[in-house]
């Protein structure tokens, strides 16, 4: 259960007040958070704890900064991987010389003595192109005429050692040497197109939820806390979902809603949305579900809408908590949230086949399948999974068997029923009413309802 800790000092900013326990597991946007673990994973900081002194907690401002830091770290890591792939796949630009040996004579001074590797018709050699600066021409002194023998020899086609070499025009990319032709050919580098699929997918989800929040009365739910349903834009909690809806519509403006979920990666993306009495703000049309509303925005109002596979809808239009898709009844919002993974199984566990909305929930679930020998750091007990060991340490050694915490004052209780009684009597909380699905009996706690169902209705089935 998510709740507020006793008064003390925030271990991140040293402010005084009533804060959350940094060793307790909380749920935010459908994900588990242990702030001490997040500090260790992101900054390699391990917070000191003492059994004889109030260890304090962590304030909401620091929690937000910590979430942003963790998200930024994941973003940098993902970007680094994308950059490495880009470097590996890039093609260096290169220029090549393509030599074509055309019409070589078999005369006395022809290049018939070239080696075999240079006797092919054409080949390619990488070169480095440099621009040659043209120097001003100097007037050359007149040279004496050649002798008759040399002149005759030159006219017969033999090269003269003193013959002036013909200058080559570099801009034509052609060099003539003897009777061979050297062509300079620059190979065009293929364009490199990098598509960041995750970023584009996240943008689609962000645009989608923005259109929903700005054009309807649907309101997001951050979590079900110790007092009630928590607002996604501030720290307020409300026992009734209807009060949260009124608060969100009246208090938080469109600018705040437009920035909802910004900075969240696709792996962490999930929205719990209250669609009770869903209505379009543009034309006051009533819609039944999110899919109908998105189609309505697209066809009637020319709005760009898309995927909704990470939006979990809830309806609170009766006294009984039901699934908005299959109408199955539940007595606990947390159990209902776990049930919704059946309808939005975007990612499936390879071990047990269970489906989950996003990758982070799947990874958290995967820890339950990693078995081994995990011993408690305080006592001699041994567990087969890290999850069981962590639950043992928190329940026995950290909270001293007082795991149930009051959402109003932070007082801890060994029993869940005693905590509920304390909240009703001391803080005026609404009593919990749980009804049996098989008969009309009503109970004030889940334990009594479970015992009743096993002792009466399950036995009746066995007898039949």
> Rounded to the nearest 10 degrees, how much is the dihedral formed by the CA atoms of 444, 445, 451, 456?
30
Helix/strand/coil for 241: helix
Classified as helix, coil or strand, 184 is strand
- In this structure, the number of other CB atoms found within 10 A of the CB of residue 177 comes to 12
Q: With contact defined as beta carbons under 8 Å apart, do 306 and 300 qualify?
A: no
Q: Which two tokens stand for residue 280?
A: 């379009």
Residue carrying the six token digits 């760009």: 304
In 3D, which of 423, 426, 461 has the Cα closest to residue 444? 423
Q: Is 439 annotated as a binding residue?
A: no
* Segment 77-105, tens digit of pLDDT: 889 888 888 888 775 444 444 444 444 44
What confidence score (pLDDT) does residue 246 get?
95
Question: Which residue bears the tokens 């040279």?
Answer: 143
- Which residues is 375 bridged to in the sheet? 382
- pLDDT of res. 190: 56
By the 8 A CB rule, do 356 and 363 touch? no
- Residues of the chain under the 50 pLDDT cut: 1-2, 92-125, 127-132, 138, 141-179, 196-199, 462, 464
CA distance 349 to 369: 10
Residue with tokens 């029923």: 417
Spans of all domains in the chain? 1-69, 196-344
pLDDT single digits (tens) 220-256: 999 887 788 999 999 899 989 999 999 999 999 999 9
CA atoms within 13 A on the CB side of 136: 2
User: Does 280 belong to an annotated binding site?
Assistant: no
For the residues of 108-135, what is the DSSP string, one character each?
TTSSTT--GGG-SSEEEEEE---PPPPP
Beta bridge partners of 237: 230
List beta partners, residue 98: 124, 183
Q: Report whether 231 belongs to an annotated binding site.
A: no
SS3 286: strand
Query: Which residues make beta-bridge pairs with 224?
Result: 229
What is residue 442's DSSP assignment? E
pLDDT of residue 6: 55
59 is in an annotated binding site: yes
Q: Class of the 1-69 domain?
A: alpha beta
Other C-beta atoms closer than 10 Å to the C-beta of 353 total 8
Q: Which tens digit of pLDDT belongs to each residue from 39-53? A: 888 988 888 776 666
pLDDT score of 319: 81
Please state, as a whole number, how many other Cβ atoms lie within 10 Å of the Cβ of residue 220. 21
Q: Which residues pair with 95 in a beta bridge?
A: 127, 186
- Residue 116: per-residue pLDDT: 43
Strand partners, 356: 347
């Amino acid at each position: 259960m998510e709740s507020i800790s006793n008064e003390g000092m925030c271990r991140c900013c040293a402010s005084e007040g009533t804060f959350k326990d940094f060793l307790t597991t909380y749920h935010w946007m459908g994900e588990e958070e242990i702030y001490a673990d997040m500090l260790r994973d992101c900054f390699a900081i391990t917070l000191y704890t003492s059994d004889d002194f109030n260890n304090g907690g962590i304030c909401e401002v620091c929690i937000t900064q910590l979430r942003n830091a963790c998200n930024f770290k994941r973003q940098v890591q993902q970007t680094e991987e994308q950059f490495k792939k880009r470097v590996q796949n890039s093609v260096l630009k290169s220029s090549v010389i393509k030599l074509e040996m055309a019409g070589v004579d078999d005369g006395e001074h022809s290049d018939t003595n070239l080696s075999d590797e240079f006797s092919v018709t054409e080949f390619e050699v990488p070169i480095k192109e440099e621009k040659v600066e043209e120097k001003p021409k100097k007037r050359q002194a007149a040279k004496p005429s050649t002798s008759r023998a040399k002149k005759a020899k030159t006219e017969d086609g033999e090269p003269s050692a003193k013959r002036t070499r013909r200058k080559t025009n570099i801009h034509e990319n052609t060099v003539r040497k003897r009777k061979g032709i050297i062509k300079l050919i620059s190979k065009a580098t293929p364009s490199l197109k990098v598509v960041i699929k995750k970023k584009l997918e996240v943008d689609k989800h962000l645009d989608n939820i923005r259109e929903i929040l700005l054009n309807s009365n649907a309101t997001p739910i951050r979590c079900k806390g110790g007092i009630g349903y928590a607002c996604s834009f501030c720290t307020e909690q409300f026992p009734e979902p209807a009060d949260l809806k009124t608060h969100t519509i009246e208090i938080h403006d469109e600018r705040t809603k437009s920035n909802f979920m910004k900075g969240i990666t696709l792996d962490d993306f999930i929205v719990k949305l209250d669609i009770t009495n869903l209505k379009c703000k543009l034309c006051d049309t009533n819609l039944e579900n999110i899919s109908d509303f998105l189609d309505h925005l697209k066809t009637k109002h020319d709005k760009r809408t898309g995927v909704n596979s990470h939006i979990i809808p809830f309806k609170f239009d009766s006294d009984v908590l039901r699934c908005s898709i299959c109408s199955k009844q539940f007595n606990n919002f947390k159990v209902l949230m776990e049930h919704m993974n059946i309808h939005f199984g975007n990612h499936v566990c390879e071990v047990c086949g269970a489906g989950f909305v996003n990758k982070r929930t799947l990874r958290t679930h995967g820890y339950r399948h990693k078995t081994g020998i995990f011993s408690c750091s305080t006592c001699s007990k041994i567990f087969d999974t890290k999850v069981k060991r962590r639950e043992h340490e928190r329940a026995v050694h950290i909270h001293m068997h007082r795991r149930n915490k009051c959402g109003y004052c932070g007082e801890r209780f060994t029993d869940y029923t005693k905590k509920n009684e304390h909240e009703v009597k001391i803080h005026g909380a609404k009593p919990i009413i749980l009804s049996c699905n098989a008969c009309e009996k009503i109970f004030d706690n889940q334990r009594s309802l479970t015992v009743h169902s096993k002792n009466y209705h399950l036995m009746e089935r066995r007898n039949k």
